[in-house]
Amino acid sequence: MINKKISDLNTHALNNKSDYFKAQPFPHIVIDGFFKEKILNIILDEFPNNIKKNGEVYNNKAEKKLTLNEVSKLSKTTVEFINFLNSSIFIEYLQKITGIKEVLIPDPYLIGGGLHELRNEGFLNIHSDFNRHPKMKLDRRLNILVYLNKDWKEEYGGQLQLWDKEMKECKQNIIPIFNRMVIFSTTDTSYHGNPIKVNHPNSISRKSIAMYYYTNGRPNSENQLGDHSTIFRKRPNTQDIDGDVFFKKIFGKIYYRIKKK
């Protein structure tokens, strides 16, 4: 799965660990060309065009996106790739590059993860993630995003933005290009999202794979708010939603209620 140019994962992790910790506005790293292009090309070719039918549709004031996390509905290559991202080999790499002391645990349920797609007018407002796994009751610690978008330009929108904890300034504006991986720590104030609506001239959608990792416990300094669901934050001088999003799964559908701050 890994690009042959990366001969040793342990060395790669140790060489990039310092950059991960120093990154602003919170620990993260952007790595290009990490995976074999052949694998990602197959995943892209097999990316389902019926996510709207078989997956989840989110269309509200805070987000407009499509997701699919049912393994039975994913292609064989996609499942093999996800299995690698959940393997001990990759998790040990994540452990080293992030310096997280608690043992990282993958999510076999892919809650909130799997395939993500934003078609034209799609977006995801700035937020901090839900911090407890609803089934395993573990602490969410790490997000991995792998982008599948060839020849993607900034004017197409969909950039991953990382904001400071005061929500005053966007510190990183990351274009979701093909074979780009973003790793970042998740805390109460790791505000991120892609609020700039997708607007591809040929209506090509923004595609990605999202993976989340957990631990049994976390430093108290990272959890000042207690258990919470997704918290959306308003960007300055916008009409973005600001507040908690409470979700309840009923008959396979997600219903939202926005609680204003």
Q: Which residue bears the tokens 């997600």?
A: 254
pLDDT of 221: 81
Provide the token pair at 6.
Answer: 């990366």
The distance of Cα 103 from the centroid of its chain, to the nearest Å, equals 20
Judge if pTM exceeds 0.75.
yes
Kindly state the DSSP code that residue 220 receives in the 8-state scheme. Answer: G
Provide the token pair at 89.
Answer: 């080999």
Question: Do 61 and 241 meet the contact criterion of CB atoms below 8 Å apart?
Answer: yes
Provide the token pair at 64.
Answer: 């407009």
Per-residue pLDDT of the chain (261 residues; tens, 9 = 90+): 999 999 899 999 999 999 999 999 999 999 999 999 999 999 999 999 888 888 999 998 889 999 999 999 999 999 999 999 999 999 999 999 999 999 999 999 999 999 999 999 999 999 999 899 989 999 999 999 999 999 999 999 999 999 999 999 999 999 999 999 999 999 999 999 999 999 999 999 999 999 999 999 998 887 777 888 888 999 999 988 887 765 443 333 444 444 444
